[in-house]
Amino acid sequence: QVQLVESGGGLVQAGGSLRLSCAVSGRTGRTVNNYAMGWFRQAPGKEREFVAALSWKDRHTEYAGSVKGRFTISRDNIQNTVYLQMNMLKPEDTAAYYCAAAIAGWAGSSEGAYHYWGQGTQVTVSS
């Protein structure tokens, strides 16, 4: 079983930055580099939506149009952690953010392609 634990959420003013972390653990012999990773978010009263994805071995990334140019997904294989750097935050970025992992080279924006999910971390952006 793989565990994903998100951290780094909080309250920030519009225009500010946050970095979310997702610590990956659980399967012996596998590191975060063995998974395709993704970030999704869910705002109150809305469906969960795709934010960013990173392929196995970091060869490919994909971003939702609403965050492109402001958010960056990356990973640290030594720390077994995936990050979401969020800059120029807007009130509409307010949501619970979820990390996801897929036992695949690439999973992209489809929720169904991911096998493991974290519990989420709340991001609130004030205007």
Q: What is the pLDDT of residue 88?
A: 98
The 3 state secondary structure assigned to 75-96 is: EECCCCEEEEEECCCCHHHCEE
pLDDT (tens digit, 9 = 90+) per residue, 49-99?
Answer: 999 999 987 789 999 999 999 999 999 988 889 999 999 999 999 999 999
Q: What is the pLDDT of residue 94?
A: 98
Work out the pLDDT band at 114, boundaries 50, 70, 90.
very high
Distance CA 93, CA 86 (A): 9
pLDDT (tens digit, 9 = 90+) per residue, 18-34?
Answer: 999 999 987 666 677 78
| Contacts with 112 (C-beta within 8 Å, 6 or more apart), sequence order | none
